[in-house]
Amino acid sequence: MHVIVWRFRPKGGREREFESAYGSKGAWVALFSEGEGYLGSDLLRSADGEYLTLDRWTSREAYDAFRALKAERYREIDRACEELTESETALGTFDSV
């Protein structure tokens, strides 16, 4: 399994919108669900208001193929969601061992 991890801090007052976009019924999950090898996503919230997303794929190759195929749509959603966040940090990609 291949996991992509991001950390976010939503803009004040935009937390619910952020959760809607990044949650299980949001735009990102809808897009990822079109990709072969997508296993699911988790949205986690800390007590101090930071969030993590964990996007799970069968392999790095499956994720890379999805990104190549859906690059334009990915950029569109990313641009639309930028207004919801104060900060966004890619924490890395991880493979199960």
Alpha-carbon distance of 29 to 62, in angstroms, equals: 15
Domain 2-95: give its CATH architecture: 2-Layer Sandwich (3.30)
Measured from the Cβ of residue 83, the count of other Cβ atoms closer than 10 Å reads 9
Report pTM. Answer: 0.93
Sequence-distant (≥ 6) Cβ neighbours of residue 45 within 8 angstroms = 19, 51
pLDDT, mean of residues 45-50:
97
Count other Cβ atoms within 10 Å, centred on residue 60: 16
What is the reported pLDDT for 90?
97
Question: For the chain, which residues make up each domain, given as ranges?
Answer: 2-95
Mean pLDDT of the residues in the chain: 97
- In terms of residues, how long is the chain? 97
Structure tokens at 19: 């959760």
